[in-house]
Amino acid sequence: MSFTKKLHVNWRIIENVIFVCAFGFIMYKLVSDYSLSIYNSVKGRGFVGSVIRPFSNHNYYKSLLAIIIMLNVTYLLWEVLSLIVLLLKQESGTIPGDSKHKRIFNNVLVHYKSSFLALIITELLPKLFLIHMFWIWLPHFQKIRLFTVNLQWYSWIYAYFCFEFAVWLYHFCSHRVRFLWCLHAPHHSPTELNLTVNWINFFAEGFYSTFVYLVILTLFGINPVMFVTIMLISTTWGMFAHISERALKNGKLGVLQHLIITPAHHRVHHAKHPLYIDRNFASTVPLWDWLFGTLQPFKEEIRMDYGVTRELDVTNFCDLYFGEILLLWRDVKNAATFKNKFLYFVKPPGWAPACSANTASVLRREFLKTNPELGITSKNRMLSAIKGWVKTYKAADSPIVAEAFID
């Protein structure tokens, strides 16, 4: 075996050992803290206390956060433990001995290795968290604010839509600018969607997202207290939106699918089919997706396969976490001109000097040429209805129609 191959094998073993330790410790903490919260709830503390006390003090958003966080942890534990039980049942009696345990372990790696290792990285680099960068940069951005809104209820609605616009813009650019995609791609790499996918974020992405949030929210006059509160609500709901189909099969949430971003919406966002790719960028409210034409509902006839479009072994954490950066570096290094080197950074993923056939927008456009009905959304229907009304109004207002009415 060559030195390079031996190094690769040994590194994969190290990754797996770190994963086993992280998995055991994090699951132990989750289960113990969850059990303690349930136990204390009997005495009016724990989860029940975290809901009732803020509500009685009119801090309703804290009660809402406590409920959504409890839902997230409950479903997360259910996802992990039910998968292990399912794998044990599936492999029971099929393959004897170590081969069975190896297959079970490999399945767990596919579902959770990248999530738990990414969580370790973000925990080891706490200063790069979004909220920390927010407080560091806030005083500098406050100098450019034009005004600051008050804390009345209607200002909170305004602030929420401004925050959602910042989220949409940051998320949209993360998919359409290749350098930013390199930071965002690890989050999209898993081929199985579950709540632990929330943990997979490139540590440096917080710099970019914080910058976008602070510029937009400062210019729009959002009070910092509003920003932090709304960010907590939006982020917590965004976690829930990653829930697996195993834990919540449909994910549309009934009538709520017309009002908020549901797990079904976000599953579309993580899917790699040309119809779904680069759609549904919003976090909580689909308004900006609707206005900018990026809202795509799930279609029963198009299955959702998750992950990125390139070949990727999700159990290879280094490739999952740093692979896109290395591929960008390769393309930039091999580009013939300085212009093309620069364009590789700012053009969409899949772009090349020769053609743009592999970009998401082109792939989607080509697919819809033969399946135009699948791309129709509520916005298209409403615009068609408005055009129809305008056409009818103009026809009724024409001299010929007027004479017909007179006759």
What average pLDDT does the segment 89-111 reach?
77
Quick check: is 313 in a domain?
no
Helices 3-41 and 46-56, axial angle in degrees (round to 10) = 70
pLDDT at 118 over 70: yes
- Give residue 356's pLDDT: 82
Would 366 be classed as within a structural domain? Answer: no
> In which residue are the tokens 């699948």 written?
374
Q: Is residue 159 part of a domain?
A: yes
Residue 100 and residue 94 in contact, taking contact as beta carbons nearer than 8 Å: yes
Q: How far is CA 242 from CA 15, 26, 63, 85, in A?
A: 25, 19, 21, 21
Q: pLDDT tens, 18-54?
A: 889 888 988 998 899 888 888 888 777 777 778 788 8
Q: What is the mean pLDDT of the chain?
A: 85
CA distances from 185 to 2, 270, 284, 308, 320 (A): 31, 11, 21, 8, 8
Segment 272-301 shows an average pLDDT of 92
- Residue 405 confidence (pLDDT) above 50: no
Residue 268 in domain: yes
Place of tokens 């969409």: 348
Per-residue pLDDT band at 379 (split at 50, 70, 90): confident
* 361-380: b (≥16 Cβ within 10 Å) or e: ebbbeebeeeeeeebebeee
Q: Is residue 367 part of a domain?
A: no
pLDDT at 124: 66
Which residue type does 337 have?
Answer: T
Residue 101 — very low, low, confident or very high, per pLDDT cuts 50/70/90? confident
Q: Is the pLDDT of residue 403 over 60?
A: no
Q: Is 389 contained in some domain? A: no
The rounded percent of the chain whose pLDDT value lies above 70 is: 90
Weakest mean pLDDT among 120-134, 157-171, 286-300? 120-134
Helices 153-176 and 224-240 cross at an angle (nearest 10°) of: 60
pLDDT digits (tens, 9 = 90+) for 174-189: 999 999 999 999 999 9
Q: What is the largest CA-CA distance in the chain?
A: 96
Give me the domain span that covers residue 242: 3-292
DSSP for 209-227, please give it.
HHHHHHHHHHHTT--HHHH
pLDDT for 406 = 41
Question: In this structure, is residue 86 part of a structural domain?
Answer: yes
- Residue 43, helix vs strand vs coil: coil
Residue 9 has pLDDT above 90, yes or no: no
Would residue 188 count as lying in a domain? Answer: yes
Tell the residue number behind the tokens 């930039």, with chain if given: 332
Radius of gyration of the chain (CA): 25
Residue 208 pLDDT exceeds 60: yes
Domains: count for the chain:
1
pLDDT, tens only, 303-362: 889 999 999 999 999 999 999 999 999 999 999 899 999 999 999 999 999 888 889 999
pTM recorded for the entire structure: 0.83
Distance, first Cα to last Cα, the chain: 96
Q: Both tokens of residue 395?
A: 């026809």
Using CA atoms, how far apart are residues 224 and 217, in angstroms rounded to an integer? 9
